Amino acid sequence: MLYRSPRLQKTVNEMGSEEESYLIVGIDSHHTKAALIERAEDGYRVQGTSEAPTTVDPPELDVTIGVERAIRGLGQKLGKELWTSGGPSGDHRLLCSSSTSGGIYMNVAGLIRNISTESAQRAALGAGALLMDVFSYNDRLPRFKIIERMRRLKPEIFLLAGGTDGGAEKQVLAMARLIEYADVKPRFGEGYKLPVVYAGNVDIREAVSKMLPEDRYATRAVDNVRPLIETENLGPAREGIYDSYMEHVIIHSPGFDKLVKWVEGRIIPTQAAIGKVLYAYARERGVNLLAVDVGGATTDVYSVYNGVFNRSLNADVGLTYGVGNIMKEAGVENIMRWIPGDISERRARNIVGNLMVLQPEALSDEERMVQQSAVREAIRLGLEKHRNYATRLKGVRMMRDLGMMFEQALEPSILDLKRTHVVIGRGSVFKDPENLRIASLLLLDAIQPWGVTEIHVDVSSMMPHTGMLLDTNREAALQILSKTCLHKLGTCVAAKGKAEEGDEALTVSMTTPDGVITAETVAFGELKILPLEADESARIVVSPTRRFDVGVGRGRSLDATVTGGENGVIVDARGRPIETPKKEALSTWVESLKPRPVAPRART
């Protein structure tokens, strides 16, 4: 499957700089984007990018047509021959990610819903799955109902888990038998085999494979997702999903049989590539990270807390096809609460309908305000769903003192907004200059982190490209992610607590390395900006009143080093959770993010 031109058939030592050059293609349902990454004197750099419409649908029905157009367009921009008559020139290592359908359509099955099934769900979502349905042996539904549900759905891959190693056998085999009884058909038609990844009790791998006939199922056994009740092992299941995706799914899409011959390594789902590089970035920096990706029809949430990665997907909730579902799930009152203007509920409903059906390229002021409100609610809904996946392992016996028992009862999820160091926003909505101006406000309103949190947005759409580069050249991937993808909006210092509107909440003193001091008093309900550039750092001392907590305890002062950004240092004294704001407050918050003249500041 590996394509290389004769020019690249050399030893590693002979390759030299050619191994430092990467041509990376990201394919989604609408666009195919090519990027050339090469090593320069100051590190790795994106030399150029080019886009073309994706051509997996009629009339072309050949994904390589869009790939060729994107690569040829990039070559013309750079004055380089990147494409020959037979395909890519071969002078660069070609990598590719793909998500032409929003993710891998998958079914997941296990024994106990909150143990093996939950682990299997996390494995599938981390691999870029769009979950169609989830089945468990301990479901209360009659077996014939489960079979009916399985038979009705046509997934691209089925993930089966259950039993610890050396543990349950009969129940796992019974679940496999249900799949066989249902005669589950693959998404690409009855003439193909359905890929089944088995990630359960290793002692019965052979028995499971025999139960699923080879003429109808392509079964792949990998290590158990829960080898022990207190251990979760998701990596092998994800790798098995990637392999099945390459061998049995993507190869059936128009033109991908040609594309895989040109590409080095596997083509993995775009969502998986994004997750891989976000996990690597969080581990490299040693931070807890939360990223939201708001698309047209889906909202993805990625998190890394204490080194544990999770992804969740809110399908059919987005800003074009899915904007109506935002209003349906969130409720019109939650959409209305973020709109600062005098827009009636009826008008807001009509705008949502137009955004869904007409999908205008240019938005009026009213449409933009409704869209910005929908962004907040899409992220909030996605975060609520994500909490259900980002949890501690169920079924594990824990030795706890009274304090730990109280803390764990309150916070069963590992997602901790007080200890969220980095928030990242993705999606075309954050690349719109009008939305980018208040992007930090959109993210803060929706996520409501507290303590000290960096706020970034991805302005490049190249995060999947860096994810594909990660396994080949980790240094290059993380450099491009930091320098090209992530645009820092600033650092937020947020207080939790409540007081009367206008009461003093905290005082802030910021000292730059050259001794310049900025001091502010912030009232409850206010946002204030302390100007500080993205490449600058400063020492900040925040002293809250006894009613407020900035992450170190109620009434205790915070002394920390922070870095700036487009919005500098954002001091958020609106409390947590943020109460439904008054209309005039919304306008004031937006105004507070506008750049302001820097007044003369005292020096020490």
Q: Over 350-387, what HEC string results?
A: HHHHHHHHCCCCCCCHHHHHHHHHHHHHHHHHHHHHHH
Which of 12-26, 27-41, 46-60, 242-256 comes out lowest in average pLDDT?
12-26
Same domain, 430 and 485: yes
In terms of Cβ atoms closer than 10 Å to its own Cβ (0-12, 13-18, 19+), residue 603 is exposed
Of the residues 250, 282, 313, which one is the last residue of a structural domain?
250
Q: Which two tokens stand for residue 79?
A: 């004055």
pLDDT per residue as tens digits for the range 176-216 = 999 999 999 998 877 799 999 999 999 999 999 999 999 99
Q: What is the CATH number of the domain that holds 286?
A: 3.30.420
Q: Which two tokens stand for residue 459?
A: 């302005």
Instruction: Tell me if 397 is assigned to some domain.
Output: no
Q: What is the pLDDT of residue 103?
A: 83
> Is pLDDT larger for residue 431 or for residue 572?
572
Same domain, 115 and 241: yes
> Is pLDDT larger for residue 289 or for residue 114?
289
Cα 351 to Cα 339: distance, rounded to the nearest angstrom: 12
Instruction: Tell me if 93 is assigned to some domain.
Output: yes
Is there a contact between 296 and 319 (Cβ–Cβ < 8 Å)?
yes
439-464: b (≥16 Cβ within 10 Å) or e: bbbbbbbbbbbbbbbbbbbbbbbbbb
Same domain, 461 and 533: no
As a whole number, mean pLDDT of residues 520-548 equals: 95
pLDDT per residue as tens digits for the range 465-504 = 999 999 999 999 999 999 999 999 999 999 999 999 899 9
Give the residues across from 501 on adjacent strands: none
Instruction: Tell me if 30 is assigned to some domain.
Output: yes
Asked if residue 602 has pLDDT above 50, the reply is no
State which amino acid sits at residue 443: L
pLDDT per residue as tens digits for the range 240-272 = 999 999 999 998 889 999 999 999 999 999 999
Asked if residue 20 has pLDDT above 90, the reply is no
Q: What is the CATH number of the domain that holds 20?
A: 3.30.420.40
Q: Is the peptide bond before 59 cis (omega within 30 degrees of 0)?
A: yes
Instruction: Tell me if 501 is assigned to some domain.
Output: yes
In this prediction, residue 112 has a pLDDT band, given cuts at 50, 70 and 90, of very high
Instruction: Tell me if 265 is assigned to some domain.
Output: no
Same domain, 375 and 312: yes
Domain limits at 43? 6-99
Asked if residue 156 has pLDDT above 50, the reply is yes
Same domain, 244 and 282: no
Q: What is the pLDDT of residue 190?
A: 73
Of the residues 219, 250, 281, which one is the last residue of a structural domain?
250
Which of 5-19, 172-186, 506-520 comes out lowest in average pLDDT?
5-19
Instruction: Tell me if 404 is assigned to some domain.
Output: no
Instruction: Tell me if 216 is assigned to some domain.
Output: yes
Query: Which of 53, 34, 87, 21 is CA-nearest to residue 465?
Result: 34
What is the pTM for the complete model shown? 0.91
> How high is the mean pLDDT of the chain?
90
Q: What is the pLDDT of residue 522?
A: 96
pLDDT per residue as tens digits for the range 374-392 = 999 999 999 999 998 898 8
Same domain, 95 and 122: no
Same domain, 461 and 352: yes
Q: Based on the structure, what is the number of domains in the chain?
A: 4
Q: What is the pLDDT of residue 102?
A: 72
Q: What is the pLDDT of residue 596?
A: 57
Instruction: Tell me if 406 is assigned to some domain.
Output: no
Same domain, 334 and 449: yes
Same domain, 462 and 375: yes
Same domain, 123 and 13: no
Mention every residue, 6+ apart, whose C-beta is less than 8 A from residue 116: 110, 161, 162, 163, 200, 225, 226
Asked if residue 403 has pLDDT above 60, the reply is no
Asked if residue 76 has pLDDT above 70, the reply is yes
Place of tokens 């020490």: 604
In this prediction, residue 341 has a pLDDT band, given cuts at 50, 70 and 90, of confident
Same domain, 374 and 471: yes
Of the residues 424, 459, 491, which one is the last residue of a structural domain?
491
As a whole number, mean pLDDT of residues 7-25 equals: 56
Q: What is the CATH number of the domain that holds 189?
A: 3.40.50.2300
Same domain, 504 and 536: yes
